[in-house]
Chains A and B, each alone.
Chain A
Amino acid sequence: MLAEAGVSADEVQATEDRLRKEVQALAEDAQAAPVHDPASAWTDMWSDGSAQWRN
């Protein structure tokens, strides 16, 4: 489809290479980062406690 749209094979390969490098760099950053505090597992899960449906 990309070829039919006029995108060359070199452009496709260059895009793929760039994205692979970006993903690889992000993965390495994540693996090198410290393990999160378990307490942060609840962060942004629910903002105001409304999930408590009963008293």
Chain B
Amino acid sequence: MAKLTFRNAVAAALAQEMERDERVVLIGEDIGSGGVFKTTTGLRDTFGPDRVWDTPISEEAIIGAAMGAAMAGLRPVAEVMFSDFYATCWDLVANEVAKARYMTGGQVSLPLVIRGANGGGLGFGSQHSQALENWALAVPGLKVASPSCASDMAGLLAAAVRDDDPVLVFEHKALMGSFEDCPDGEHLVPLGQAAVVRDGTDVTLVALSATVGMCRSAADELAGHGVSAEVIDLRTLVPLDAQCVLDSVRRTGRVVIAEENPGQLGWGAAVAAILADEAFGNLVAPVTRVSGGTSHCPSPRSSSRRSARPRNGWSPRSPA
């Protein structure tokens, strides 16, 4: 077992896949020097500039080039430095990358991964702090992964590289420095397989990415009050392991969904709708969502205002 930080897990997974398959190439801003979050450190030294391509500051160019490379037979991993910047290249992602397989009747596949730093709470301001998995969730044709720990970061990213369809991987900035024992050797975590990270019998806490740790803490607190909480890490939104959530909620009868994105039509709304459709008879209390709220500014620069956000000081008693 090797102890890796979340950011080192990104580099380890990319190195594993680049070593295994010479068609895997990287493209993005400043990635040759390790990237702004140091998630690609050492890869250009190891694999050379022909496989680690630095680009100008243009997300459209990055995604367009990556899409073309994927159509031509490579397996590119593109980096959008902050997921907020998907807004500048969303036409390519949502209208071209996501639809190429549909529009060609399956004749063209895009084995393409797009990575981006995601989430708030670190003082990057409102244009560099959003949790945006729900944007991708709204576009059929995109797979969506958002890992919560270093081991899953490595395993899900490797699985994404091997997938023949486009996968967006959201890497939470607040987790970059967290570390964990990761398995030695080849490591893969299948897309679409949620993890029950804590067993419980009274309530199900459904989480993704950074909210997994929050839910673990909440479960610890609840245990002190005699409440047994089960915590589910969804790992991926597409494919969504709805069955894992349904199985749990059918046992516990209660569910709290913890999501970082704004509450209006966040991914938790999709999960809540599934529960309403398929587990209504098992619920003994209303489905509850705890979200990033509905404020216009997704993450204030001010630390005092930021500390009032659900990311910090979140508890199961917080309002949705």
A interface list, Cβ under 8 A from B: 44-48, 50-55
Task: Decide if B105 touches A47 in the complex (CB within 8 Å).
Answer: yes
Task: Decide if B239 touches A52 in the complex (CB within 8 Å).
Answer: yes
Task: Decide if B241 touches A55 in the complex (CB within 8 Å).
Answer: yes
B106 CB contact (under 8 Å) in A46, A52, A54, A55: A46
Task: Decide if B239 touches A54 in the complex (CB within 8 Å).
Answer: yes
Could you pull out 19 A-B pairs where Cβ atoms are within 8 angstroms?
Answer: A45-B102, A45-B105, A46-B102, A46-B106, A47-B105, A47-B106, A47-B109, A48-B101, A48-B106, A48-B164, A50-B143, A51-B140, A51-B141, A52-B239, A53-B240, A54-B238, A54-B239, A54-B241, A54-B274
| Complexed CA–CA distance, A47 and B100 (Å) | 12
A44 CB contact (under 8 Å) in B105, B164, B165: B105
Name the CB-closest residue of A to B137.
A53
CB contacts (< 8 Å) of A45 on chain B: these are 102, 105
B49 to chain A, nearest CB (A): 33
CB contacts (< 8 Å) of A44 on chain B: these are 105-106
CB contacts (< 8 Å) of B143 on chain A: these are 50
Question: Per-residue CB proximity of B214-243 to A under 8 Å, as 1/0?
Answer: 000000000000000000000000111111
Number of residue pairs spanning A and B whose beta carbons lie under 8 angstroms apart: 38
- Please name 6 further chain A to chain B contacts, defined as beta carbons within 8 Å, in addition to the given A47-B105, A47-B106, A55-B239, sorted by A numbering: A50-B141, A52-B239, A53-B240, A54-B239, A55-B240, A55-B243
| Complexed CA–CA distance, A44 and B241 (Å) | 26
Does any Cβ of A come within 8 Å of B263's Cβ?
Answer: no
Name the CB-closest residue of A to B166.
A50
B192 CB contact (under 8 Å) in A47, A48, A55: A55
A54 to chain B, nearest CB (A): 4
| Complexed CA–CA distance, A48 and B141 (Å) | 11
Closest 10 CB pairs of A and B: A47-B106, A44-B105, A54-B240, A54-B242, A55-B243, A53-B238, A50-B165, A55-B242, A55-B241, A53-B240
CB contacts (< 8 Å) of A51 on chain B: these are 140-141
CB contacts (< 8 Å) of B238 on chain A: these are 53-54
| Complexed CA–CA distance, A12 and B4 (Å) | 70
| Complexed CA–CA distance, A55 and B192 (Å) | 8
CB contacts (< 8 Å) of B109 on chain A: these are 47
CB contacts (< 8 Å) of B106 on chain A: these are 44, 46-48
Name the CB-closest residue of B to A52.
B239
Question: Per-residue CB proximity of B139-178 to A under 8 Å, as 1/0?
Answer: 0110100000000000000000000110000000000000
| Complexed CA–CA distance, A53 and B239 (Å) | 5
